[in-house]
Amino acid sequence: MKSLYEETYRRSLADPEAFWGAAAEDIVWHRRWDRVLDNARQPFTKWFPGGRLNTCENALDVHVARGRGKQRALIYDSPVTNTVRVWTYAELLDAVARMAGALVRLGIGKGDRVVLYMPMVPEAVMAMLACARIGAVHSVVFGGFAPNELAKRIDDAKPKLILSASCGIEVARVVAYKPLLDQAIELSSHKPQRCVILQRPQARAELVRGRDLDWNDAMTGAAPAECVPVEATDPLYILYTSGTTGIPKGVVHDNGGHAVALKWSMSAIYGLGVGETMFTASDIGWVVGHSYIVYAPLLKGCTTILYEGKPVGTPDPGAFWRLIAQHGANIMFTAPTAFRAIKKEDPNGVHMDKHDLSHFRVLYLAGERCDPDTLHWAEDKLKVPVIDHWWQTETGWPIAANPVGLGMLPVKPGSPTKPVPGYDVRTLDEQGKETAPGQIGSIVLKLPLPPGCLPTLWDNDPGFETSYMSRYPGYYLTGDAGFKDRDGYVYIMSRVDDIINVAGHRLSTGGMEEVLASHPDVAECAVVGVADDLKGEVPVGFVVTKAGVARPDADIVAELVQKVRDTIGPVAAFKTATVVKRLPKTRSGKILRGTVKRIADGVDYTMPATIDDPAILDEITEALKALGYPRKG
C-alpha cells in the first residue's frame, strides 16, 4: 500500500492541473482562473492565468472576516533593543491598510516598484504587505548592503519609492543605513521620486530636503486602502540574487501560484495548522524571510515571529530556546550554520535545558547542506525530529523535504529526503543523460516548474533562459550537484562549481566536509578545491574548533587528513587543512567557498556584497599564505 506522500507525489506529477487546481480552492479569488496551467511557451510557464486575487487580502482580511481577528498574527522580538510587541490579525490588518493608504498618497499604484532597505523591524513586514495590498511590486534589499550593490538593484527595478530606516543593529553595533542609501542613489542612474525613512532612536538620519520624508510624517493621517485585485500572473515581488556576470538577477515571484504553493506547503510540508506558531530565524532580505516569516504563515492563519537578533550573543546561545518557550513556537526554521554556532558555544546544550520546549515539535534546517554531525547533535539535544530540506531563491519554497504533513519518512542523515510534490527532480551527467543511483550529477528539475517558482527574471527573459534553461533543454538547472539513492532520496553535495577534478576523479567537497564535521573537535568547516600543477585541483580544508578545545592544531589536522583518507580514500588527495578562528560567510550564513578558492588560486576577486565581515578574508589570506598559497608557477 502506498504511503500518503507517495500517492500525493504521484498525483502531482501525473496531473498537475488537477492537483494544483484543487490546492487553489483554498485561496480566495476575485475571479477564477481560465485554466490552471498555460505551458504553451516553455520555459515561460504561467499558473492560473485569468485568475484575479490579492495576496494581502488572503494573508490578513480573510482571517479577520472569518472571526480570527483577535488571534496573534505577528510577534516582534528584538533582544538588541529589548523590545517585544504583538499584533493580532485585526491590528496588523489595520496597520497594513493605513500604510497602504500612505503609499497611495505618495503616488504608488499597481505595478509600481518599491525598494525596501530595512532592518528586521515590524514596519518592514507591514510595508511588504502594504505593497501587495495595492498591487505594487516590492523588492527587499538586505539592510546594510553595500551602496554599489544597492545601486545596481535600484537601476534594475527602477523603483518610484524607497522605504528605509536610519539604522540597523548588529548585536552591540549600530549600522547607519542612510549614508549607504544616499551613496547608492548617487551611484544609480535611476533616481527614486521619494525616500521614506524610519527614524530609530539608536541613530537619527539626516533627511534630504525635497526627496526624503520622515516615516511617521508620511504615515500619519493616511486613510486605510482597500485591496486591489491583480492578475495571478502579475509580479508580487522581485528578489535579487547574485549573477555570474556581476549583474544581480531579479528573481520574480507572481501572486497566484505563490499564494497557492506557500499556503499548501504550510500543512503538507511543515505540518502546521491555523493558529499555531512558526519561528523562522532568517532575514526578510532573503527568500526564506519572504516565504516563511511573512507570506506563508499569514496565508495559513498562523502566528509568525520576527526576530531581530542572532543565535548567539543576543545575549547567549540560549536565544532561540528562549523565543520558542516564551512565544509558544511549534516549529523553528533556521540555517545549519546557526546550529553550528550554537553547538560551538554550548556543546552540551546547557542553555537549552533552561527553557520549557515541551510544545516544540520539529526543527527545520535549510540554506546550507546540513552535515550529519550537526543533525545528530540537534536530534540528541532537542529530542524532536530534525528535518533538513533544500530549496532556492528561485523556487520560493522547498524542492526536497521530509513532508511532515504527509507522514514523516525515515530520516537519512545528509539527505533532505525526497522531492516535494510538484517537483520532478533528476540528476544528469554532462551529456544530459540521467545518472545511476548514487552517482553524482547536475541536479535539475523537469519542466514545468510547480506554482510558486520564478516565471522569469525581472525585465530579462533572455537572461532567464540563459541562466537556467539553456544547459539542459526541458529542465531547470539548479546549479547544485548531487545524486539520488535507490530509495529516491536526494543528496545535495555541493554547488556544481564545487565539484573538483582531482587527477581525473570528480569529487564532492561536500562529502569531504561531511567527514571533517564528524570529528569531535570540529564546530564547522569548509573544503575548497585549489589549482594544482600535477593533479589539476586538490582539496584544502578549513576548520573551526569547538569552544574549549585546547589540543594542538597540528594534531587535529593530522587526524582530519587520516579521517578523509580512511573514509573517502587516497583518491581524494586530501593532505592539507588548517584551523581558523572563523569562516567567511554571507549574512545569511552561507560560506563563501568561491571567494576562498580565488584567494588560494591568486585570482582577483570582488568583495562579496553579502559578506558578514570583510576582515575575515584577511585572516583567511594569512592562513593560506602559511600553507604556501597562492603558489607561483
Cell of 234: 502579475
Residue-wise pLDDT for 406-439, tens only, equals 999 999 988 999 999 999 999 999 899 999 999 9
pLDDT for 633 beyond 50: no
Q: How much is the average pLDDT of 236-242?
A: 92
Backbone angles phi, psi at 287, to 5 degrees: -65, -35
Pairing of strands 194-198, 37-38: unpaired
Question: Looking at residue 341, what is its pLDDT?
Answer: 87
Q: In whole angstroms, what is the distance from residue 358 CA to residue 373 CA?
A: 24
**Upstream peptide bond of 630 is cis (omega within 30 degrees of 0):** yes
pLDDT band at 2; cut points 50, 70, 90? confident
Query: Residues with Cβ < 8 Å from 25, sequence gap 6 or more?
Result: none
Which DSSP letter does residue 309 get? S
Q: How much is the average pLDDT of 558-582?
A: 87
Dihedral of CA atoms 518, 519, 520, 522 in degrees, nearest 10, equals -100
3-state DSSP call for residue 421?
Answer: coil
3-state DSSP call for residue 306?
Answer: strand
Across the beta sheet with 161-165, what order do the strands follow? 212-214, 194-198, 161-165, 113-117, 137-140, 235-241, 249-254
Dihedral of CA atoms 368, 342, 121, 144 in degrees, nearest 10, equals -60
pLDDT for 507 beyond 80: no
pLDDT band at 511; cut points 50, 70, 90? confident
Alpha carbon 2 to its chain's center: 32
Question: Looking at residue 406, what is its pLDDT?
Answer: 97
pLDDT for 587 beyond 90: no
pLDDT for 245 beyond 60: no
Contact between 96 and 133 (Cβ < 8 Å)? yes
Cell of 158: 527602477
Q: How many residues does the chain have?
A: 633
pLDDT for 305 beyond 50: yes
Question: Looking at residue 606, what is its pLDDT?
Answer: 78
Choose the weakest-confidence range: 275-289, 303-317, 540-554, 578-592: 578-592
Pairing of strands 362-365, 386-388: parallel
Question: Looking at residue 424, what is its pLDDT?
Answer: 98
pTM for this one? 0.86
Q: Considering the chain, what percentage of its residues have pLDDT values greater than 70?
A: 97
Contact between 150 and 117 (Cβ < 8 Å)? yes
Return the bridge partners of 138, or none.
114, 237
* DSSP of 352-388: GGGS--TT--EEEE-SS---HHHHHHHHHHH-S-EEE
Q: In whole angstroms, what is the distance from residue 132 CA to residue 137 CA?
A: 7
The residue type of 271 is G
Kindly indicate whether the domain formed by 503-626 is annotated with CATH number 3.40.630.40: no
Residue-wise pLDDT for 469-499, tens only, equals 999 999 999 988 899 999 999 998 877 766 6
Q: In whole angstroms, what is the distance from residue 276 CA to residue 295 CA?
A: 15
Kindly indicate whether the domain formed by 4-309+389-482 is annotated with CATH number 3.40.50.12780: yes
Query: Closest Cα partner for 523 from 538, 513, 532?
Result: 513
3-state DSSP call for residue 317?
Answer: coil
* DSSP of 140-172: E--TT--HHHHHHHHHHH--SEEEEESEEEETT
pLDDT for 375 beyond 60: yes
3-state DSSP call for residue 603?
Answer: coil
Cell of 150: 544597492
- The residue with cell 543565535 is 311
pLDDT band at 335; cut points 50, 70, 90? confident
Residue-wise pLDDT for 139-179, tens only, equals 999 887 788 889 999 999 999 999 999 999 988 889 999 99
Q: In whole angstroms, what is the distance from residue 272 CA to residue 320 CA?
A: 19
Q: Is the dihedral of CA 106, 108, 114, 120 positive or negative?
A: positive
Question: Looking at residue 170, what is its pLDDT?
Answer: 85
Contact between 29 and 51 (Cβ < 8 Å)? yes
Residue-wise pLDDT for 52-75, tens only, equals 999 999 999 999 999 999 999 999
* Domains in the chain: boundaries: 4-309+389-482, 503-626
3-state DSSP call for residue 279?
Answer: strand
Contact between 562 and 581 (Cβ < 8 Å)? no
Alpha carbon 19 to its chain's center: 26
Query: Other C-beta atoms within 10 Å of 569: how many?
Result: 12
Secondary structure in 3-state letters for 26-72: CCCCCECCCCCEECCCCCCCEECCCCEECHHHHHHHHHHHCCCCCCE
